């Protein structure tokens, strides 16, 4: 028997390791447009000790290790570009502690967002975490590893800003903790210890996140989504500015899409609000609509699309079924809110060039501090030509974002190179040093964020 396989079997047990074609095939594929990349082994550890042993083994063997959560990041980020071991972390899915008073929950990093949402709904209905719009199977660890954002992004920022502690297996196998948990205390804060946060947003290149203390926030009794529609994209930034001034919303998104046709070229501003009483909800609605949006209605440039819609949590996306094609991928960026009009215009042009109906979305992060803007390109998995078009559209969009002055969010390797080409040389060297210091053998998700 292959000795690495035997060693992995010894660590995780026979059922949770494979080097058979069928598993390798499955883990060679991403949901998006990326070309397949085959691992040599797939293993699904259950404990942090098992992760640590695997990473040590990989160092000895100079084998790549690629952490995988839900595999839903769509940009090939968890594809093993240099083969090696794909570590499916979804068996590390336990809820370790819920502290209602201090509003945090400690979980293993392979837990799904859906499970956290369901758990809180049942055991602590007055609390919520910031849930991304990703399918419910997306993991907490995977989302932090790409600086995700969720449905509390407006009041509280990026999901990676909402943590109170981390446990990480370093690329050399040591298990490290960060935050109050590092000094043996409860997991209630990440600060004020010296900043050692070298793991968030690194796509698993600097270590494997194994435990997370997630901040929880008040979940109010009544929640609704309201919809305001404008035709002129130039109005979107000022409307968002006004709404974020009053700070009544939990999530603000602007969406424009060609399909269905009645919505083509319109900009739908979705606003989530909540209240512990109907009066609180009504008060917030009035501040938003009467206080801020009425004048657009009076001027005949905006209208109410819907009020009081139910909020679906977790959200369910049917985007992949568009034209029955089974696939889509998007470029995400972080841009100033003021870029919305240009992002929309340029995006719809790129879509038109590739024969893909346009879909763009901007989610406000913080009090108008930034916006996650995405351009979605659907394709038909069974038609290689449409996949090629989507891939080219993604690449054009990556370039466009940087030309506009935006930054790419969770870029694929193509986008990472564009970003690093523009990066300040000192910063780039710092990245290289950090990576080398942590990962001397270059085994962690190699090929990603790799400084030449």
Partner 1 sequence: MAQTQYKYMDMIHRCFRCGYCKFPQDWEDVDNCPAYARHRLESHSNGGRLWLIRAWITGELELTDHLAEIIYSCVACKNCEEKCPLSFSDDILNMVIAARAEMVAQGRIPSPVKTYLKNIQLHGNPYGIGAKKRSDWMQELSIEPFEKQEFLFFVGSEGAYDSRAQHAARALSRLFQKAELSFGVLGNDETDDGNEVELLGEEGLVEMLAEKNIASFNERGIKNIITLSPHAYNALKNIYPRFGGSYQVYHYTQILPNLIQSGRLHPPKLENTTITYHDPCFLGRWNREYTAPRRVLQAIGGSKLIEMDRNRKSAFCCGGGSGNYYTDLLGGSDDSPARIRARQAHATGATILAVACPNCLTMLEDAVKVEGLEGKIQVKDIAELIDGESAS
Ligand X SMILES: Cc1cc2nc3c(=O)[nH]c(=O)nc-3n(C[C@H](O)[C@H](O)[C@H](O)COP(=O)(O)OP(=O)(O)OC[C@H]3O[C@@H](n4cnc5c(N)ncnc54)[C@H](O)[C@@H]3O)c2cc1C
Interatomic CA distance for residues 25 and 86, integer angstroms: 12
Complex with ligand X: residue 304 or 418, whichever CB lies closer: 418
Radius of gyration of the chain (CA): 22
Stretch of 118-126, 140-148, 187-195, 281-289 contacting ligand X, by CB under 6 A: 140-148
**C-alpha to C-alpha distances, 312 to 47, 131, 272, 406, 428, nearest whole angstrom:** 32, 11, 11, 30, 41
**C-alpha to C-alpha distances, 100 to 68, 120, 123, 165, 173, nearest whole angstrom:** 30, 10, 10, 16, 33
Complex with ligand X: residue 73 or 386, whichever CB lies closer: 73
Complex with partner 1: residue 96 or 246, whichever CB lies closer: 96
Stretch of 36-44, 69-77, 181-189, 258-266 contacting ligand X, by CB under 6 A: 69-77
Q: Does 281 bind ligand X (CB under 6 A)?
A: no
CB of 296 to partner 1, least distance (A): 34
Q: Residue 232 CB: number of other CB atoms within 10 A?
A: 13
Number of residues that bind ligand X (CB under 6 A): 34
Q: Does 67 bind partner 1 (CB under 8 A)?
A: no
- 5, 26, 399, 451: which one contacts partner 1 (CB under 8 A)? 26
- 43, 54, 89, 163: which one contacts ligand X (CB under 6 A)? 89
Interatomic CA distance for residues 233 and 145, integer angstroms: 32
Q: Does 319 bind ligand X (CB under 6 A)?
A: yes
Interatomic CA distance for residues 417 and 282, integer angstroms: 48
Q: Does 233 bind partner 1 (CB under 8 A)?
A: no
* 312 touches, from ligand X, partner 1, none (C-beta below 5 to 8 Å by class): none
Q: Does 72 bind partner 1 (CB under 8 A)?
A: yes
* 78 touches, from ligand X, partner 1, none (C-beta below 5 to 8 Å by class): ligand X
Complex with partner 1: residue 133 or 411, whichever CB lies closer: 133
First to last CA, the chain: 37
Q: Does 324 bind partner 1 (CB under 8 A)?
A: yes
- 55, 109, 181, 356: which one contacts ligand X (CB under 6 A)? 109
Interatomic CA distance for residues 333 and 375, integer angstroms: 9
Q: Does 20 bind partner 1 (CB under 8 A)?
A: yes
Q: Does 40 bind partner 1 (CB under 8 A)?
A: no
Closest to 109 measured CA to CA, from 77, 144, 133: 144
Q: Does 137 bind partner 1 (CB under 8 A)?
A: yes
DSSP secondary structure letters along 78-129: TS-TT-SEEEE-TT---EEEEETTTTEEEEETT-BHHHHHHHHHHH-TTEE-
Contact 158, 166 (CB under 8 A): no
- 171, 204, 327, 347: which one contacts ligand X (CB under 6 A)? 204
Q: Does 84 bind ligand X (CB under 6 A)?
A: no
Alpha helix (H) residue ranges in 108-235? 113-123, 140-144, 153-156
Q: Does 310 bind partner 1 (CB under 8 A)?
A: no
Closest to 404 measured CA to CA, from 329, 331, 330: 331
Q: Does 225 bind ligand X (CB under 6 A)?
A: no
**Residue 5 belongs to what H/E stretch?**
helix 3-12
Q: Residue 368 CB: number of other CB atoms within 10 A?
A: 19
Closest to 163 measured CA to CA, from 216, 118, 121: 216
- Residues 346 to 385: which contact partner 1 by CB under 8 A? 380-382
- C-alpha dihedral over 343, 346, 350, 356, to 10 degrees? 60
Q: Which residues bind partner 1 (CB under 8 A)?
A: 15-16, 18, 20-23, 25-27, 29, 31, 42, 44, 70-72, 88, 90-91, 93, 112, 114-115, 117-119, 121-122, 135-137, 314, 316-318, 320-321, 324-327, 380-382
Q: Which residues bind ligand X (CB under 6 A)?
A: 66-74, 77-78, 89, 109, 132-135, 138-139, 141-143, 145-146, 148-150, 203-204, 208-209, 317, 319, 445
């Amino acid at each position: 028997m292959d000795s690495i396989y035997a060693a992995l079997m010894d660590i995780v047990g026979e059922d949770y390791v494979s080097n058979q074609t069928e598993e390798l095939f499955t883990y060679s594929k991403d949901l998006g447009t990326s070309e397949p990349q085959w691992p040599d082994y797939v293993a699904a550890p259950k404990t942090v000790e098992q992760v640590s042993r695997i990473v040590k083994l990989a160092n000895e063997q100079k084998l790549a290790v690629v952490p995988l959560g839900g595999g839903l990041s769509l940009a090939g980020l968890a594809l093993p570009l240099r083969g090696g071991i794909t570590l499916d972390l979804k068996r590390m899915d336990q809820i370790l502690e819920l502290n209602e008073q201090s509003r945090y929950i400690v979980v293993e990093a392979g837990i799904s967002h859906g499970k956290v949402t369901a758990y809180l709904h049942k055991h602590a209905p007055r609390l919520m975490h910031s849930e991304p719009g990703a399918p419910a199977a997306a993991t907490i660890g995977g989302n932090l590893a790409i600086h995700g954002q969720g449905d509390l992004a407006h009041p509280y920022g990026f999901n990676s800003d909402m943590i109170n502690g981390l446990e990480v297996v370093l690329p050399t196998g040591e298990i490290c903790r960060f935050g109050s948990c590092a000094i043996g205390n409860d997991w209630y804060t990440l600060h004020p210890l010296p900043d050692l946060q070298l793991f968030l947003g690194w796509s698993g290149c600097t270590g494997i996140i194994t435990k997370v203390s997630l901040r929880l926030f008040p979940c109010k009794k009544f929640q609704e989504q309201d919809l305001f529609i404008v035709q002129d994209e130039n109005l979107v930034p000022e409307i968002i500015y006004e709404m974020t001034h009053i700070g009544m919303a939990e999530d603000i998104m602007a969406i424009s899409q060609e399909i269905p046709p009645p919505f083509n070229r319109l900009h739908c501003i979705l606003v989530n609000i909540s209240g512990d009483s109907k009066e609180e909800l009504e008060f917030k609605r009035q501040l938003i609509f009467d206080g801020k949006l009425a004048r657009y209605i009076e001027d005949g440039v905006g209208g109410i699309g819907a009020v009081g819609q139910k909020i679906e949590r977790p959200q369910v996306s049917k985007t992949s079924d568009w034209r029955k094609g089974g696939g889509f991928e998007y470029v995400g960026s972080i841009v100033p809110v003021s870029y919305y009009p240009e992002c929309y215009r340029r995006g719809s042009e790129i879509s038109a060039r590739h024969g893909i109906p346009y879909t763009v979305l901007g989610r406000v992060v913080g009090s108008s501090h930034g916006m996650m803007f995405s351009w979605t390109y659907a394709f038909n998995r069974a038609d290689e030509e449409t996949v090629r078009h989507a891939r080219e559209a993604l690449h054009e969009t990556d370039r466009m974002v940087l030309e506009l002055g935006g930054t790419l969010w969770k870029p694929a390797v193509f986008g990472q190179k564009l970003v690093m080409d523009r990066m300040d040389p000192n910063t780039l060297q710092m990245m290289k040093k950090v990576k080398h210091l942590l990962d001397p053998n270059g085994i962690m998700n190699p090929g990603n964020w790799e400084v030449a």
